[in-house]
Structure 1
Amino acid sequence: MSEIEIRPFVASDVDGVFSVILPIQREEFGIEITADDQPDLSSISDFYQSGKGQFWVAVRNGQIVGTIGLKDIGNEQTALRKMFVAADLRGREHGLAARLLAELLAHAEAEGIKEIFLGTTDKFLSAHRFYEKNAFAEVSRGELPRSFPLMAVDSKFYRRSIIAA
């Protein structure tokens, strides 16, 4: 298997980001969502790459095969968004999701972020297990910061505290 590079998003990545995310949302999980329903993906540099936020892509052979975003929501808090890994690269044997998350957590710690929140759907059962295994604790919708960017499809929420080294 060829090497996978994880790096910050650049503007020329936008089509590749849509090409990995939309099929997962629509075909795998049957979520009726379009590119137009996700304006954050059309303006990644403004939406994610501002404040203490960032957006990373995983690239193999010039093709984007994974994404993860961190949105600065103020008050040393952030939202983890758009974590997607191509189906053929999921699972512990590939470790790609863990590598993407490790990149995000290292950035969060370096930036002095105190908490990371995320929302997901009831359908992403393997994602729930992944987040729980990685020290995210389920919280109620009412425990989210007011600045948390709620998505209509989100029904399950998590929080992870970051302890500075």
Structure 2
Amino acid sequence: MLSLKNPSFPEIHINNHFEPGDIGAIIELHGRLYHANFGFGLGFEQYVAHTFAEFVCHFQEGKDQIWIAKANGHIKGCIALIDRGNKTAQLRYFITTADYRGRGLGKLLFDFFMQHIRAHLYQKVYLWTTENLKAAAHLYVQEGFYLAEQRESDTFGIPLIEQKYHWELPEPDNTK
């Protein structure tokens, strides 16, 4: 089990394991934040509750990963990796609280995610997001993700555009 301190955020501890209360807090954080910031309805929180429960119940130690950032015992952000087999991973549950948004915590969590991807030689990564999450999309594109698919949806109680991003391990340069 990993527990990290980062000099950029001395008050933040990042764990890669669950502690009592984390599961409900992560679901609640998604429900409250996405409703307050984007108007998502209960359908979104239900979706997160269902899929996050599946993630937790089927968590494969050594394959699936989670990074949970906490300050004073309160979750301030998280990101998860679900191993989908064949050297493919899915990025999920990437979120930071309003008081840490724009300060670099999301980038720090995303960097941990990408370091893990590279260290474990994943060939492909994908994620689903929505068009209105532009700051996160900017991080993805900077890291080499590309927009692979878009579709209209009202699954979360409002009309929106869902987007699927892909990342593939760059081919080695054999010309040297």
Show structure 1 runs of 5+ residues with no match: 142-151
Structure 1 residue 10, shift from structure 2 partner: 1.0
Number of corresponding residues? 154
Aligned partners of 2:58 and 2:170: how far apart in 1? Answer: 25
Report which of the two structures shows the higher radius of gyration computed on alpha carbons.
Answer: 2
Give SS of 2:99's match. Answer: helix
SS in 2 for 1:140: strand
Task: Output the TM-score relative to the length of structure 1.
Answer: 0.79
CA contact (8 A) 1:50 1:72 kept: no
Quote the sequence identity (%).
25
TM-score, normalization by structure 2 = 0.75
- Kindly report which structure 2 residues correspond to 1:1-165, keeping only aligned pairs within 5 A, or say none: 2-12=10-20, 13-32=22-41, 33-38=43-48, 39-50=50-61, 52-91=63-102, 94-140=103-149, 155-162=162-169
Q: 1:40 to 1:3 in 2, by over 3 A?
A: same
Q: 2:89–2:122: 8 Å Cα contact kept in structure 1?
A: yes
Alpha carbon RMSD of aligned pairs, Å? 2.6
Please identify, of 27-36 and 98-107, the stretch whose mean Cα deviation from structure 2 is larger.
27-36
Report the alpha carbon displacement of residue 128 of structure 1 after superposing the two structures with TM. Answer: 1.8
User: Partner amino acid for 1:67?
Assistant: C
Any idea what SS the aligned residue of 2:84 has?
strand
Give 5+ residue unaligned stretches, structure 2. Answer: 1-8
Q: Contact 2:55–2:82 (CA<8 Å) still a contact in 1?
A: no
Higher share in strand: 2
